[in-house]
Amino acid sequence: MKKVLITGITGYIGGTVAKKLLDRNYEVTGLVRNEAHVQELESLGIKTIIGNIHNEDLIKTAVDNADAVIHNADSADDAYAVDNFIKALEGSHKTFIFTSGSAIFGGKENGKRSDFVYKEDFPLTPRLEMASRVLINNYVLQSAQKDIRSIVIVPTMVYGEGLGLKKDSIQIPALINYSKEKGAGIYFGEGENVWSNLHIEDLADLYVLALEKAKGGSIYYAENGASSLRNIAEVISKKYNLEPARSLNVQDAVDHFGPAGGYFGFASNSICSTDKARTELQWKPIYNSIENFI
């Protein structure tokens, strides 16, 4: 039986991945920041370590007792935590799966449409705001040269009910709540910007396949469908009996969701292809309609 350490195990992605691994008879340990969720996690069959991702000694001990690490906890922009894990794993030949995010594809288009589709073999030159995230991804991938089986997964807009303690994703619930506040489905600018998306269970299946099959130094973009933010807003209006969808200024998005959320999470394009995961890992996502889960 393989022992897998997961950070962010109380979160949406980490909790769902943990459930999928438990179903396949992996031994799963979660690194949690406080004791509040320990009993709940252990009742699910998950072992726990209390601590945080910035405690180097704790990370070293936890990694020594695991065969693989799946790092989800606030990971995409935290270079300090990533470096702690790489340092602890160096020379071990163990697996390190790192969770990034597809805002790295964003062009700050302010609601305008772009049809460019990113693939893993395209050179990626991110905007300044997302440059550090790409540097972190590359650092993880290059750690394969330090005898670490390092893998990066880049989820797009994730939807559906999580299988762990946290049931809800980030973008869709946030947009639903904001739309309810405004009394109508909300998009920003023209709302023609498009995000690739995928269901949480399909994403978790990809993690399992990557753990079992992927080569070190591999990056996988994860999607199975796409939708414009205006289309999503229109579905929200209908489902929640709100007024017809309407546009707000991108500045309103920035004021409410912060600059990263406003410019990139809700007003940029983020479109990619997942052919690589399908071909190399035989990944076969099932769900392909975000509209059915809003």
Residue 229 lies in a domain: no
Residue 196 pairs with which residues in a beta bridge? 226
Residue 137 lies in a domain: yes
Residue 268 lies in a domain: no
Residue 174 lies in a domain: no
Q: What is the pLDDT of residue 195?
A: 98
The pLDDT tens digits for 17-68 are 999 999 999 999 999 998 989 999 999 999 999 999 999 999 999 999 999 9
What is the domain-level CATH number for residue 41?
A: 3.40.50.720
Find the domain containing 123 and state its range.
3-107+117-159+199-223
% of residues, the chain, pLDDT over 70? 99
Distance in angstroms (rounded) separating the CA atoms of residues 210 and 204:
10
Residue 210 lies in a domain: yes
Domain total in the chain: 1
Instruction: Tell me the average pLDDT across 251-261.
Output: 97
Q: What is the pLDDT of residue 72?
A: 94
Residue 233 lies in a domain: no
Give the pLDDT band of residue 1 (cuts 50, 70, 90): low
What is the residue-averaged pLDDT of the chain?
A: 97
Would the pTM of this model clear 0.95, i.e. be above it?
Answer: yes
Residue 71 lies in a domain: yes
